[in-house]
């Protein structure tokens, strides 16, 4: 069984202080980009949306997609994903957690991640670092990590259901909040396998990201519709 949690419960304060799920790219909301990719390819989908939108959008989306539920998000992303996990039927299969703000993931990427999670327990997509990264203390550089040993992480992230559920349980027992789902698995003692991501799998964070996404679509660069 393969399940998907689409995390879209937050507001994009840097992109107009609106829910990213409803930002339009190529004439349709981001929520539809992800649902169209996953629909008919997985067993169940849980969409996490802001509380004020959950009921309305559940009725709207269920007319178009089967095996779908909409739940209200929490205060932080981790709380929203936890709500999604708790509503899944999947206890032994694979769970994919994806940010609605990334509309350009590919079918090939999902296959790589699912295969990696089945084999290793946890699998996440990555791309090589392009820029030098600095740690800082106040307004001064404190350390320059070796970027050759670092990667940038994307979503979707794939996990065996039991591993992800256990990682979330332990995180909440210890009051820990992480920046992604994989770090919870890492803290719980799990190993996370790295799979190939995509440069086009960008995240809608700033207004310039929307412009770039529209440019990709207008120029016909739709590699996310094909196997890489």
Tell which residue, 46, 33, 58, 37, has the closest CA to residue 161: 46
For the chain, the structural domain boundaries read 2-225
On whether the pTM is more than 0.85, the answer is: yes
d(CA 47, CA 57): 10
pLDDT for 227 equals: 41
Q: If we measure between CA atoms, which residue out of 146, 149, 153 comes closest to residue 122?
A: 153
pLDDT at 1 over 90: yes
- At 6-42, the pLDDT tens digits run 999 766 565 556 788 898 998 999 999 999 999 999 9
User: What single string gives the DSSP state of each residue in the chain?
Assistant: -EEEEEE--SEEGGGTSEEGGG-EETTEEHHHHHHHHHTTTSSEEEEEE-HHHHHHHHHHHHTT-SSEEEEE--SSHHHHHHHHHHH---SSSEEEEEETT-----HHHHHHHHHHHHHHSEEEEEEE--S---EEETTEEEE---GGG-EEE-S-EEEEHHHHHHHHHHHHHTT---SSHHHHHHHTT---EEEE--TT-----SHHHHHHHHHHHHTT--GGGS--
What is the overall mean pLDDT for the chain?
91
> What share of the chain in percent tops pLDDT 90?
75
Pick the CATH number of 2-225 from 3.90.180.10, 3.40.50.300, 3.30.420.40, 3.90.550.10: 3.90.550.10
pLDDT over 70, % of the chain? 92
pLDDT at residue 205, rounded to an integer: 87
Instruction: Report pLDDT for 224.
Output: 43
What pLDDT digit, counting tens, does each position of 155-179 carry?
999 999 999 999 999 999 999 999 9
pLDDT digits (tens, 9 = 90+) for 68-77: 999 999 999 9
Model confidence over 92-143: pLDDT tens digits?
Answer: 999 999 999 999 999 999 999 999 999 999 999 999 999 999 999 999 999 9
């Amino acid at each position: 069984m393969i399940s998907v949690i689409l995390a879209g419960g937050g507001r994009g304060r840097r992109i107009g202080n609106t829910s990213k799920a409803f930002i339009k790219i190529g004439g349709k909301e981001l929520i539809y980009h992800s649902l169209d990719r996953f629909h008919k390819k997985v067993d169940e989908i849980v969409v996490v949306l802001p509380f004020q939108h959950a009921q309305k959008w559940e009725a709207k989306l269920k007319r178009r997609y089967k095996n779908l539920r909409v739940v209200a998000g929490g205060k932080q992303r981790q709380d929203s994903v936890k709500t999604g996990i708790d509503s899944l039927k999947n206890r032994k299969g694979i769970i994919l957690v994806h940010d609605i703000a990334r509309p350009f993931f590919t079918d090939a990427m999902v296959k790589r991640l699912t295969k990696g999670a089945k084999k290793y327990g946890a699998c996440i997509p990555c791309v090589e670092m392009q820029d030098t990264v600095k740690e800082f203390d106040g307004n001064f550089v404190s350390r320059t990590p070796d970027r050759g040993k670092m990667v940038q992480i994307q979503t979707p992230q794939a996990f065996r259901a039991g591993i992800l559920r256990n990682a979330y349980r332990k995180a909440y027992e210890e009051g820990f909040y992480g920046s992604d789902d994989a770090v919870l698995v890492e803290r719980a003692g799990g190993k996370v396998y790295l799979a190939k991501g995509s440069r086009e799998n960008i995240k809608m964070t700033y207004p310039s990201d929307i412009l770039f996404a529209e440019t990709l679509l207008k120029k016909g660069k739709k590699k996310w519709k094909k196997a890489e």
